[in-house]
Amino acid sequence: MQKIYVPPIKSQGIKTKLVEWIKEGVSNIKYDRWIEPFMGTGVVAFNIQPKNVVLCDNNLHLINFYNAVKSKKITAEKVHSFLTSEGKKLLQTEGKYYYEVRDRFNDSENPLDFLFLNRSCFNGMVRFNSKGKFNVPFCRKPNRFQPALVTKISNQIRNISQIIDYGNYSFICQDFSETIKNTNENDFIYCDPPYIGRHTDYYDSWSESNEFFLNKLLLEKGTFFVLSTWLKNEYRENPYIHSVWKNCFISTKQHFYHIGAKEENRNSVYEALLANFPLNTKVKTKNKLIEHFDLFHQKKIG
């Protein structure tokens, strides 16, 4: 198994442990550009490492951060120095300095402050209020930026910077609909929208109408696509699998999420990959529902 490169910006639902599965699923597809309408952490693209990549998100702060990495305004060395200095202030004030940085970021939108907040806020959430202000509280760990963690984050910056240098990466802030509309038949679309009915602490909310609209855009466009979503957990199933996405091919895999604002979101989940082509994956499980899907994983689930 290849080394998995973890991006410096954390986010709920990161696909770090699912990259190999996703990579296997799309391995038979040829394309000129890899397109993501919902960049999030970017972990899938950063690890599959296509030559031409367009990563989009409606979170301007996320896009600004990675454009700063691309342009070398943010480097591993700058991050190490910044987090070391700011971490000392955080510790000296027993965490109160976090809110000073949060206010500063909401005024200046400095990408380094965005990184600091993301790595010291509660559960690594990326959440903004109706006025566009970052409003996640502190994680209550004043000694957050110990030398080992600062080095780890700096190395993540270095690794991702090298990956960006190796390929042709574009980071664009725009709505997912614009991203999909601007694709062509030689592109490949990987969609990782907020999981409907599960997480509610993304940069923007995600509703049933969004889910239907995304499905309509993808199917009408006709470009090869894969979409990540959830199938079921121990409490309930995702009803949209059998309605909105009923005409798609499917592959499933069990995964455990350690982060989430709510305790019920921190449990084992059966993930689903949905596509408009037969996925190149094989999944074995004792769960009867999943066995049923696996038997039909080369067929549409409708």
What is the pLDDT confidence band of residue 256, given thresholds at 50, 70 and 90? low
Looking at per-residue confidence, does 197 or 267 come out higher?
A: 197
Answer yes or no: is pLDDT of 281 > 90.
no
**Rounded CA gap, 146 and 222, in Å?**
48
Answer yes or no: is pLDDT of 261 > 70.
no
Confidence at residue 292, expressed as pLDDT on a 0 to 100 scale: 37
DSSP, collapsed to helix, strand or coil, labels residue 229 as strand
Range with lowest mean pLDDT among 72-86, 149-163, 223-237: 223-237
Alpha helical stretches, state H, the chain = 19-25, 43-48, 60-70, 76-92, 97-108, 111-118, 147-166, 176-181, 208-221, 288-295
Mean pLDDT of the chain: 88
Concatenate the DSSP letters of all residues of 243-256 into one string: TTTTTSEEEEEEEE
Q: Residue 3 corresponds to which tokens in the numbers above?
A: 């080394």
What are the tens digits of pLDDT across the range 172-213?
999 999 999 999 999 999 999 998 876 544 445 788 999 999
Confidence at residue 33, expressed as pLDDT on a 0 to 100 scale: 98
> Given this chain, do its domains 16-58+174-295 and 68-163 carry the same CATH topology?
no
Find the mean pLDDT for residues 275-302. 54
Domain locations along the chain: 16-58+174-295, 68-163
Number of Cβ atoms within 10 Å of the Cβ of 268:
11
Looking at per-residue confidence, does 53 or 261 come out higher?
A: 53
Find the mean pLDDT for residues 260-266. 51
Which CATH number applies to 68-163?
A: 1.10.1020.10
Looking at per-residue confidence, does 145 or 12 come out higher?
A: 145
Confidence at residue 58, expressed as pLDDT on a 0 to 100 scale: 94
Most confident of 2-11, 143-152, 251-260: 143-152
Is the pTM value of this prediction over 0.85? Answer: yes
| CATH architecture designation of domain 16-58+174-295 | 3-Layer(aba) Sandwich (3.40)
Per-residue CA distances from 39 to 20, 55, 96 (Å): 18, 5, 31
Confidence at residue 233, expressed as pLDDT on a 0 to 100 scale: 82
